[in-house]
A and B are shown apart, each in its own frame.
Chain A
Amino acid sequence: MFTRRHLLQSATMGFGYLAFAGMNAAQADQQAPQNPLAPKEPHFPAKAKRVIFLFMGGGPSHVDTFDYKPALAKDEGKSGKYGGRLMKSPWEFRQRGQSGLWISDVFPEVAKHADDMTLIRSMHCDQPLHPGATTQMHTGTSQFIRPSLGSWTLYGLGNENDSLPGFVSLNPPAGGARNMGSAFLPAIYSGTKIGGPGGQFFQRFRGGSGETVPDIRNPNLTDRQQRAQLDLIQTLNREKLQRDKVQPGVEGVIESYELAFRMQDALPALMDTSRETQSTLDMYGIGQNETDGFGKQCLLARRFVEAGVRFVEVTHNGWDQHRNLKADLQTRAEGCDRPIAGLLQDLKQRDMLKDTLVIWGGEFGRTPAAQGGDGRDHNNKGFTTWMAGGGVKGGYSYGGTDEHGYAAVDKPCHIHDWHATILHLLGLDHKRLTYRYAGRDFRLTDVHGNVATEILA
């Protein structure tokens, strides 16, 4: 009996050759034609093998979550540096775990994992508005269209599962193709999105067998028939590519068909969570109103990395508390606190946290001064992200902001530095991870980036 896998192997042209078919000769020599998604050795040995990036869209307030500022409480009501009145956090901060990391009460469950986390309290970026900062966080620049962090990672390390995309984005916001795009890297390195904006997909998602993404199965054809059809489609596509010589769009089409064909088997199996135990579901807060949607996303993230997907991004939006901070931030945090804690715990009990890098963070933080009575404005000069597992220190705090939390002053970590550090944790030298395009070598960090070596375990 034929499986899709057999059919694929018997297909005339190996998966991946195509990405290189259109390249000029010099480049083709430089990178021998092979499956561009085949696992690759990193530049140097490293602990982290894969990444789960928990992206908190909207800019979560650092001074109410992970950046403890006693002076802010003390100076409550005084004039802020740039106008407005300083507002202390409505939440208490406490020292957590053996390490005594300060984390606020808004993340009680995550705080229990303090001893596995490194807080980077000196983040900063160049963009003060959501779209620009989000794009910079994902691609290093908001000015040009550049490959995203996930694409670079996949380009650097390949994928461990050839039937699944190597870079998956769960529930990305609308219009965010650029944040998961591969730009000039071959299209196979771009992110595949599952579920659209607003979380409706995961609200409806029940995780049963046969339930995945739309159009995952052909209602009429056998696998064998569909493979024959796909061979014809790809023959036509390859002819076109030969005529056009260089046409990244057509390469993208060709690669996306191969991937789609394999996904038809792999994805339903992967997304069938019906065999997860009740205690696992509970751990992620699945089945509880506030945490159900994001819990499912986190559970899927674990299943994806477990299956060998290199980079999974999970989006949790709505951190833009210009007003109603107390109520809204609480609700936002409640929506993800247990799921994230559950994810860390689950990875740990599967012994996967040691080589899975979990990253948490939004595009910027918020001002220590109040806005609209009970809110905070954007602040890109200082904010906090954290990492856990994958070779980072546990219970560690890196860098810091000024006494109120306006700007990174101690060991500032720019987005470029953050990118360099993430790549380093994966065994990739950000200066060596380059791609030649239009006669020039490009890299994620452009001409910037310093690895925050202190956070390495």
Chain B
Amino acid sequence: MLPIRAASILLITLFAGITSAAELTTEQRNFFESKIHPVLIRECYGCHSNKAGNVRGGLRLDTKQLTLLGGGSGPAVVPGDLDESLLYNAITHQDFEMPPNRKLPQTVIADFRKWIEMGAPDPREKALGEIQSKVKPEDIQQAKENFWAYQKPVKHPLPQVQHQDWAKTDIDRFVLARLEQAGLQPAEDADAETVLRRLCFDLNGLPPTPEQIAFFKKGWQQDPDRAIAYVVDRLLEKPQYGERWGRHWLDVARYAESTGRTVNMTFPEAWRYRDYVIDSFNEDKPFDRFVMEQLAGDLLSKKSDEEFAKNLVATTFLAIGSKDLNEANRIQFRANLIDEQIDATTRVFLGTSVACARCHDHKFDPIPQADYYAMAGVFQSMETFFGNPQSEYGAFQGLQERQTSTLLVMPIDDPSPGGKSLSDSELQRIKDDLEDKKSQLVDLRRSSSNPMQLLRQRAILFGSMSVLSNQIASVDQQGKPYSFCMGVQEVDRPTDARLLVRGEIDQPAQQVPRGFLQVLSNEPAKIGSNESGRLQLAEWIASEENPLTARVMVNRIWQHLLGQGIVSSTENFGSTGQSPSHPELLDQLSTRFVDSGWSVKTMIREIVTSRVYRMKSTFNESFHEIDPENQLLWRANPKRLDAEAIRDAMLAISDEIDLDRPHASIVAKAGYTRVANGQLRLPQDTSAGMMRGPFGGGMGGGRFGGRFGRIDNPLQGEKAKVRSVYLPVVRDEEPRSLSVFDFADSSGIIGTRETSNTANQSLYMMNNPFVIQQSEAFAKRIAEQSSSTDRQVELAFVMAYGRPATDSETKAAESFLRKFIADGASRSKALAMLCQSLFASAEFRYLD
């Protein structure tokens, strides 16, 4: 969805500069004026020009720009490329027929052929407008001087507090000072079990074991600070730490394994980015480096092929956004792609939304429209790889999948599970098969069956040809499979973008030099004419001079640990966002973060060893009246566990969890294919699937009254025992176990998840086969440890809640078991139902 344009009058002055018409030779000009232009006027302008009013198919041919832009089906002319030039396609009556019902003379067609092959020289330059921004340099300067988020964070002196002895760390002093000012007091320390449960879930996303609890309690009795420090160090060293915190990052990085939108095609190599993110957190990669790799990994110096491959994978960040492959117009598709990249880059790293400047000056923040197009120039000077490699035979895209792309080949030997070696003879057979299909296609064009039939057969042929072409492209000359990844690469000749009036691709105005946001820069970007500026963009974001990067990241860390951000609008640090509850503390943390070498682990350690982190979540009515949102932190925020933690905790407690990282993903195994009706399509029926959209096979005939049962679907991962971060994430088809508990919408940039409590969740916990099976495994596990009911109940509570049961809880559980067994249920079934009740209860899903 496009942002609205400003409801203000844009100043447009016309000027006739920036043309390349002057570069045409006399010969070219004459050719156009004598052979092409008269035909266009005579044959096309009637329906396809600005004067025609309501143009057919959105196609206008009366200026050079509009001709190159084309209409709803794509560009009319691609200089030098007859196959891609739909105008040529139409006059030769291939997929289109123009003029309708009549073919132009062969000589005229030959002229067009020649014209396109010579590069379609066209003197009909449209006069371009220039948009003047209403955001003046003084406005930007003023914002820089006055708005907190545009000033570099500085260290502040520690505030004076009354309760000196409560404060253990600097964090505590900053929080306490604000509480005391407001006449509030911090809640007392939570008990050992509560703190340990918090630490285990917050750092690793898994519950503590009874042994860990006993060990921690012993240490806590002697010295709580030391006990915490010890456990924190251990938890930060576990691989589960990266899985937990990597997932937080994947939320904002809009990680998913398919394009989403109308034609939901898979991203079979997306999993590499998932693993890269997890590894980066586990290595405690400096965050500035992490930024650099994701935005410009392809441009960084490298010591080895392995490092280069990893850096390439990192740039998947720019390639993984949702895409509408059904978009017919290539230029529109590209503009949308760039828009998505700008949006993700600025909101994820800078907490600043720039995307509304696509159509007009930002309404609230000092971001002129030109700043957007300065960044658009950077991104348009790169190519994005997200699709499916195709051989020299071509890409045979389906009817709906109108935009295709290929992938990057990495210089390492680590093919995805879909990649198979091919022997010479196999390769030859595939090539023969493809040739055979090609000739079938030619025959089909000549045959005169009805158009629907024709289209259908063609789509089926295209589907299988695409698969074959991909098979050829997926192996090297020895038939060994390549290792592919998604990502980006520079184009040969970087260009500046033109500002687009109201963001419309057919309304280009002046060119804008490549650059970044002025309000966050101290000097203009230094970008050479033969470089895109992306490396500089990455350096500018990853710089300690940038006032937002460190702040935005420490705010995210704070939010995950304390339950709400210091700035609660985690993706919006602009004037419409929320102002920080503790501005000095945010500054303090940001400078510490940078000083620590951008170490995320260090920041986490500082926060969780504070007294603030250790508070109880006890409610206080009078404090609630003063500060209902608990912004000043007079208590710990009770947090509902997120979807992954709930599922992983059940698996951990049942002892069924598989803590090993699975290789790749189910999506990688399925390869490049369309996801429809909640299922991954196998490559061979992709072609048929592509037909389903426009012609709706079968749906209408289905009588209301059939039934759809539970689908055993690998995308749902119901049988999987791996950690949730490794479940497939296909857009709009996320596993129910995750989506039911407010999993991040994988098409969005989600810094803060919603936390609802719904009847759907209750149904899931009561009736879902996975939950039931985990409860049975949990029951079996405790039954193996003890045969005494007392001990079983005790164990069940400790494992599920991380604390011993209260007396009344024990009583309730025991009477439940007794009644159940008396009623004729087996002991094991009764115990399993008790275990399920614990999973289903509120305490299990809350972190107090």
Interface of A toward B, CB cutoff 8 Å: 24, 58, 76-77, 82-84, 90, 128-130, 165, 174-175, 177-178, 181, 187, 190, 192-193, 196-198, 200, 203-211, 213-221, 225-226, 228-233, 235-237, 239-241, 244-247, 249-250, 252-257, 259-261, 263-264, 273-274, 276, 281, 286-289, 292, 296, 320, 322-324, 326, 371-374, 377-381, 437-439
Specify which of A196, A235, A263, A274 is in contact with B759 (CB 8 Å cutoff).
A263
Chain B residues, Cβ within 8 Å of A230:
766
Given contacts A228-B820, A377-B502, contact A207 B55 (CB under 8 A): no
Specify which of A177, A218, A254, A438 is in contact with B742 (CB 8 Å cutoff).
A177
Q: Would A190 and B756 count as touching, CB distance under 8 A?
A: yes
Interface of B toward A, CB cutoff 8 Å: 1-10, 12, 53-55, 58, 60, 72, 332, 356, 359, 363, 501-502, 504-506, 617-619, 621, 624-625, 628, 638, 640, 677-678, 696, 699-700, 702-708, 710, 732-733, 736, 739, 742, 745, 747-748, 750, 754-764, 766-769, 772, 806, 808-809, 812-813, 816, 819-820, 823, 825, 833-834, 836-838, 840-843, 845-846, 848
Given contacts A58-B1, A197-B732, contact A210 B707 (CB under 8 A): yes
Chain A residues, Cβ within 8 Å of B8:
82
Q: Would B72 and A240 count as touching, CB distance under 8 A?
A: no
Mind listing 12 A-B residue pairs with CB under 8 Å?
Answer: A128-B363, A206-B702, A214-B763, A229-B816, A246-B621, A247-B619, A255-B757, A256-B757, A256-B759, A260-B766, A287-B702, A323-B332
Closest Cβ of chain B: how far from A391's Cβ, in Å?
31
Specify which of B3, B703, B764 is in contact with A215 (CB 8 Å cutoff).
B764
Instruction: Give the CA-CA distance A253 to B625 in the complex, in Å.
Output: 24
Q: Would A287 and B700 count as touching, CB distance under 8 A?
A: yes
Chain B residues, Cβ within 8 Å of A225:
820, 823, 825, 833
Closest Cβ of chain A: how far from B396's Cβ, in Å?
25
Kindly name the residue among B505, B617, B834, B842 whose own CB sees the greatest number of chain A CB atoms within 10 A. Answer: B842
Assuming A193-B758, A276-B704, what are 17 further A-B pairs, CB within 8 angstroms?
A77-B53, A129-B3, A198-B732, A204-B678, A204-B708, A229-B766, A232-B834, A237-B841, A237-B842, A244-B619, A249-B755, A253-B841, A256-B758, A371-B504, A372-B505, A373-B506, A439-B628
Given contacts A129-B356, A192-B760, A237-B842, contact A371 B502 (CB under 8 A): yes
Instruction: Give the CA-CA distance A288 to B845 in the complex, in Å.
Output: 44
Specify which of B58, B678, B757 is in contact with A252 (CB 8 Å cutoff).
B757
Chain A residues, Cβ within 8 Å of B12:
83
Instruction: Give the CA-CA distance A239 to B758 in the complex, in Å.
Output: 20
Q: Would B767 and A219 count as touching, CB distance under 8 A?
A: yes
Instruction: Give the CA-CA distance A174 to B55 in the complex, in Å.
Output: 35
Q: Would A204 and B763 count as touching, CB distance under 8 A?
A: no
Instruction: Give the CA-CA distance A261 to B763 in the complex, in Å.
Output: 8
Chain A residues, Cβ within 8 Å of B756:
177, 181, 190, 252
Q: Would B678 and A200 count as touching, CB distance under 8 A?
A: yes
Instruction: Give the CA-CA distance A251 to B848 in the complex, in Å.
Output: 15
Given contacts A256-B758, A371-B504, contact A236 B842 (CB under 8 A): yes
Q: Would B843 and A236 count as touching, CB distance under 8 A?
A: yes
Measured CB to CB, the nearest residue on chain A to B820 is: A228
Closest Cβ of chain A: how far from B559's Cβ, in Å?
16
Chain A residues, Cβ within 8 Å of B757:
187, 249, 252-253, 255-256
Given contacts A236-B841, A263-B759, contact A83 B638 (CB under 8 A): no
Instruction: Give the CA-CA distance A340 to B359 in the complex, in Å.
Output: 35
Q: Would A374 and B842 count as touching, CB distance under 8 A?
A: no
Closest Cβ of chain A: how far from B762's Cβ, in Å?
3
Q: Would B754 and A286 count as touching, CB distance under 8 A?
A: no
Chain A residues, Cβ within 8 Å of B764:
214-215
Instruction: Give the CA-CA distance A274 to B755 in the complex, in Å.
Output: 36
Instruction: Give the CA-CA distance A77 to B55 in the complex, in Å.
Output: 13
Q: Would A174 and B7 count as touching, CB distance under 8 A?
A: no
Closest Cβ of chain A: how far from B641's Cβ, in Å?
11
Chain A residues, Cβ within 8 Å of B55:
373-374
Chain B residues, Cβ within 8 Å of A219:
767, 769, 772
Given contacts A233-B837, A253-B845, A274-B704, contact A213 B763 (CB under 8 A): yes
Measured CB to CB, the nearest residue on chain B to A275 is: B705
Closest Cβ of chain A: how far from B626's Cβ, in Å?
9
Measured CB to CB, the nearest residue on chain B to A220 is: B772
Specify which of B505, B808, B836 is in contact with A229 (CB 8 Å cutoff).
B836
Instruction: Rank and list the top 9 A-B pairs by shortest CB-CB distance, nearest first.
Output: A438-B628, A252-B757, A260-B762, A378-B4, A128-B4, A253-B842, A215-B767, A175-B745, A208-B707
Q: Would B700 and A289 count as touching, CB distance under 8 A?
A: yes
Q: Would B837 and A218 count as touching, CB distance under 8 A?
A: no
Instruction: Give the CA-CA distance A168 to B465 in the complex, in Å.
Output: 46
Q: Would A381 and B7 count as touching, CB distance under 8 A?
A: yes
Instruction: Give the CA-CA distance A237 to B844 in the complex, in Å.
Output: 10
Chain B residues, Cβ within 8 Å of A261:
762, 766
Measured CB to CB, the nearest residue on chain A to B838 is: A236
Specify which of B1, B706, B755, B825 is in contact with A130 (CB 8 Å cutoff).
B1
Q: Would A373 and B707 count as touching, CB distance under 8 A?
A: no
Instruction: Give the CA-CA distance A253 to B640 in the complex, in Å.
Output: 11
Measured CB to CB, the nearest residue on chain A to B704 is: A207
Chain A residues, Cβ within 8 Å of B2:
320, 322, 377-378
Q: Would B747 and A249 count as touching, CB distance under 8 A?
A: no
Instruction: Give the CA-CA distance A234 to B60 in the complex, in Å.
Output: 67
Q: Would B758 and A288 count as touching, CB distance under 8 A?
A: no
Given contacts A213-B760, A320-B1, contact A286 B704 (CB under 8 A): yes
Specify which of A174, A257, A260 is in contact with B747 (CB 8 Å cutoff).
A174
Instruction: Give the CA-CA distance A84 to B10 in the complex, in Å.
Output: 10
Specify which of A207, A211, A256 is in contact with B762 (CB 8 Å cutoff).
A256
Instruction: Give the CA-CA distance A244 to B848 in the complex, in Å.
Output: 9
Given contacts A174-B748, A233-B840, A274-B704, contact A249 B640 (CB under 8 A): yes
Measured CB to CB, the nearest residue on chain A to B327 is: A323
Instruction: Give the CA-CA distance A371 to B358 in the complex, in Å.
Output: 14
Chain B residues, Cβ within 8 Å of A129:
1, 3-4, 356
Instruction: Give the CA-CA distance A1 to B760 in the complex, in Å.
Output: 27
Chain B residues, Cβ within 8 Å of A187:
757
Q: Would A192 and B759 count as touching, CB distance under 8 A?
A: yes
Closest Cβ of chain B: how far from A299's Cβ, in Å?
9
Closest Cβ of chain B: how far from A352's Cβ, in Å?
21
Closest Cβ of chain A: how far from B816's Cβ, in Å?
5
Q: Would A438 and B625 count as touching, CB distance under 8 A?
A: yes
Instruction: Give the CA-CA distance A228 to B816 in the complex, in Å.
Output: 8
Measured CB to CB, the nearest residue on chain A to B640 is: A249
Specify which of A235, A254, A324, A381 is in contact with B812 (CB 8 Å cutoff).
A235
Q: Would B10 and A83 count as touching, CB distance under 8 A?
A: yes
Chain B residues, Cβ within 8 Å of A77:
53
Chain B residues, Cβ within 8 Å of A207:
704-705
Q: Would A82 and B699 count as touching, CB distance under 8 A?
A: no
Q: Would A374 and B58 count as touching, CB distance under 8 A?
A: yes
Q: Would A82 and B763 count as touching, CB distance under 8 A?
A: no
Closest Cβ of chain A: how far from B746's Cβ, in Å?
9
Closest Cβ of chain A: how far from B828's Cβ, in Å?
12
Q: Would B700 and A288 count as touching, CB distance under 8 A?
A: yes
Instruction: Give the CA-CA distance A392 to B19 in the complex, in Å.
Output: 60
Instruction: Give the CA-CA distance A9 to B759 in the complex, in Å.
Output: 19
Measured CB to CB, the nearest residue on chain B to A175 is: B745
Given contacts A83-B9, A324-B58, contact A232 B842 (CB under 8 A): no
